[in-house]
């Protein structure tokens, strides 16, 4: 009798392929943090401490821990989630998260204690790649069922990192957003930073509910859309799609104004997605943990289409409000003050950039690596020459087109007029300089905000420190002194953020020195405005 053909899987390749979906530090850290908060001890919050350094990431919790058998189940690819089988609402679904560490590193160690019994195992990329047969491969035992005085909990050690950037700030923002969805009762610390999630401030809010036949498809859900007075970081904006409180995706809509999209946030909880994920031929989620819904699923397609229509309605109202705001006399006066502030900040910023360029060039000269020197007066003849024939005043023929022979000589010739931005897009121009906005952000909002993507400082006219002088008049010395001082402080801190993103090893002491030096430097310029 002919043996039946069976579906099989190459375990090692499957394991490493799933790991590629966890290709950033934020995704890896959240995967293990979420495992921790999904497994608390009875009626207790979970404390998770994350330590991220150049070569190693350690995630330690005081959750329920694992027995030897539970640890074995942990390493089963695509295995069932025991808590889900028991009817508990937890995030894990496809059993792929255990491989997360290998998305950014070459070694994973797990140390876990339950009922004072310690088990420790280790797995390396080298061990996985040696499993050429395609069958199961062993996890190396470090400690087996050893009695200990340690309390229950688990430690995940991801080492031999193979990534260029640790993304520390992004990791904190990523974890904080996820904690805010349902798991805000737990406590997570990342490199001494206590993770917290606060709902962004908003100017107004719209609530939508589906009508017609839509409730029979997506359920009787409620969509909340909030409009923030300031642009939000990507990690804090968009409409969150949850199911039974578990976050599955964030949508920013389609064909919306980019600036408007950065001002909206909200959520909709759709329990029907969880109810149907095992019943539908095309599931609403996939097993990659990329936190996105499957648009090929009919329920998801209907849901996202409805959310987009609601966002378009809110966008129309937003545009109308913004248009009326820009017409006011107050706005014109505030824009003039903002331009004056921008001139001070950008003159300082350009000076810093020129000084940095000088330092870089001197370093290259010392190292003997300078190959491109800024032209200036010298004693040697230039190796460049004027090229190309003089232009005549001829007219273009009807059949004129690009020639086959290139005009001789360099294409850039010296001129006697200052340069311009040419075709540089407005977006690129905005990113290359600092910008200031005065706006009403609400009494409970911070006194100022820095939008790193557009290098924009927004001063909150409703903040108690500013509102009193604001009522005195936009030209009052008190109002100008306070708002200028705020802008200078925000600018100094912004420079520190800029340096942190460029250099992940930029220390706190360096930042404090640079912030103090910047405030002292730019605040001296304020004396020029005392004569106004």
In order, the DSSP letters of 392-426 are ------TT----SSPPSS-S----SS----TT--H
Which pLDDT score is estimated for 283? 81
Mean pLDDT of 323-347: 86
Q: Which two tokens stand for residue 253?
A: 């809509």
φ, ψ for residue 458, nearest 5 deg: -110, 125
Specify whether 172 is located in the same domain as 258.
no
Total of domains in the chain: 3
Mean pLDDT of 419-426: 46
CATH code of 49's domain? 3.30.565.10
Confidence tier at 5 by pLDDT (50, 70, 90): confident
Which pLDDT score is estimated for 373? 46
Contacts of 34 (CB under 8 A, 6+ apart): 91, 92, 97, 178, 183
Specify whether 278 is located in the same domain as 336.
no
Specify whether 182 is located in the same domain as 284.
no
CATH code of 296's domain? 3.30.230
Q: Is the pLDDT of residue 14 over 60?
A: yes
Please check whether residue 301 lies inside any domain of the structure.
yes
Specify whether 208 is located in the same domain as 177.
no
Identify the residue with better confidence: 442 or 375. 442
Specify whether 157 is located in the same domain as 210.
no
Which of 169, 194, 219 lies at the terminal end of a domain, its last residue?
194
- The winner for highest mean pLDDT among 6-20, 152-166, 430-444 is 152-166
Spatial contact of 113 and 152, defined as CB atoms under 8 Å apart: yes
What pTM, to 2 d.p., does this model score?
A: 0.65
Specify whether 161 is located in the same domain as 256.
no
Please check whether residue 85 lies inside any domain of the structure.
yes
Specify whether 464 is located in the same domain as 347.
yes
Specify whether 473 is located in the same domain as 516.
yes
Which of 194, 226, 259 lies at the terminal end of a domain, its last residue?
194
Spatial contact of 226 and 205, defined as CB atoms under 8 Å apart: yes
Specify whether 211 is located in the same domain as 97.
no
Which pLDDT score is estimated for 233? 83
Please check whether residue 382 lies inside any domain of the structure.
no
Please check whether residue 100 lies inside any domain of the structure.
yes
Specify whether 459 is located in the same domain as 448.
yes
Specify whether 112 is located in the same domain as 41.
yes
pLDDT, tens only, 120-154: 999 998 888 887 677 777 889 999 999 999 999 99
Which of 303, 325, 347 lies at the terminal end of a domain, its last residue?
325
Please check whether residue 377 lies inside any domain of the structure.
no
Q: What is the domain range of residue 254?
A: 204-325
Specify whether 64 is located in the same domain as 187.
yes
Q: Is the pLDDT of residue 60 over 80?
A: yes
Spatial contact of 16 and 102, defined as CB atoms under 8 Å apart: yes
Confidence tier at 377 by pLDDT (50, 70, 90): low
Q: How many of the other CB atoms lie within 10 Å of CB of 151?
A: 11
Distances (CA, A) of 41 to 50, 82, 221, 245: 19, 16, 33, 20
Which pLDDT score is estimated for 249? 87
353-361 long-range contacts (CB < 8 A, ≥24 apart) are none
């Amino acid at each position: 009798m002919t043996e039946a053909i069976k579906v099989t899987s190459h375990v090692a390749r499957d394991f490493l392929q799933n790991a590629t979906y966890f290709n950033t530090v934020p995704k890896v850290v959240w995967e293990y943090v979420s495992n921790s908060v999904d497994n608390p001890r009875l009626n207790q919050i979970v404390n998770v401490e994350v330590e991220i350094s150049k070569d190693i990431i350690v995630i330690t919790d005081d959750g329920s821990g694992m027995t030897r058998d539970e640890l074995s189940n942990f390493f089963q690819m695509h295995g069932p989630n025991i808590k889900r089988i028991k009817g508990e609402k937890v995030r894990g679904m496809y059993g792929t998260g255990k491989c997360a560490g290998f998305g950014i590193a070459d070694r994973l160690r797990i140390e876990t204690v339950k009922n004072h019994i310690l088990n420790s195992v280790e797995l390396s990329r080298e061990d996985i790649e040696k499993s050429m047969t395609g069958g199961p491969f062993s996890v190396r035992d470090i400690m087996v069922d050893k009695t200990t005085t340690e309390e229950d909990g688990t430690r995940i050690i991801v080492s031999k990192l193979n990534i260029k950037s640790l993304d520390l700030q992004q990791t904190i923002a990523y974890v904080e957003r996820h904690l805010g969805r349902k798991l805000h009762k737990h406590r997570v610390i990342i490199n001494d930073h206590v993770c917290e999630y606060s709902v962004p401030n908003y100017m107004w809010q719209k609530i939508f509910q589906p009508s017609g036949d839509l409730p029979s498809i997506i359920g009787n859900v409620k969509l909340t859309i909030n409009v923030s007075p300031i642009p939000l970081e990507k990690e804090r904006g968009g409409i969150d799609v949850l199911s039974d409180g578990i976050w599955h995706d964030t949508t920013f809509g389609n064909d919306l104004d980019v600036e408007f999209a950065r001002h909206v946030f909200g959520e909709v909880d759709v329990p029907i997605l969880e109810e149907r994920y095992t019943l539908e031929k095309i599931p609403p989620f996939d097993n990659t943990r990329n936190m996105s819904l499957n648009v090929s699923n009919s329920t998801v397609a209907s849901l996202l289409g409805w959310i987009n229509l609601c966002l378009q309605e809110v966008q129309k109202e937003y545009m109308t409000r913004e248009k009326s705001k820009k017409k006011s006399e107050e706005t014109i006066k505030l824009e003039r003050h903002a331009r004056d502030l921008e001139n001070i900040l950008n003159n300082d910023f350009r000076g810093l950039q020129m000084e940095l360029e000088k330092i870089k060039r001197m370093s290259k000269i010392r190292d003997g690596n300078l190959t491109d020197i800024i032209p200036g007066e010298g004693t040697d003849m230039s190796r460049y020459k004027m090229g190309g024939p003089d232009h005549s005043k001829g007219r273009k023929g009807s059949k004129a087109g690009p020639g086959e022979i290139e005009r001789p000589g360099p294409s850039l010739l010296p001129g006697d007029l200052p340069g311009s931005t040419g075709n540089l897009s407005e977006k690129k121009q905005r990113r290359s300089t600092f910008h200031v906005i005065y706006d009403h952000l609400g009494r409970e909002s911070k006194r100022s905000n820095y939008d790193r993507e557009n290098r924009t400082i927004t001063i909150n006219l409703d903040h108690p420190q500013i509102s009193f002088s604001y009522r005195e008049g936009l030209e009052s010395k008190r109002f100008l002194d306070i708002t200028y001082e705020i802008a200078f402080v925000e600018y100094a801190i912004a420079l520190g953020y800029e340096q942190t993103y460029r250099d992940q090893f930029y220390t706190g002491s360096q930042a404090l020195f640079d912030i103090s030096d910047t405030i002292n430097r730019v605040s001296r310029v304020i004396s020029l405005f005392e004569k106004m």
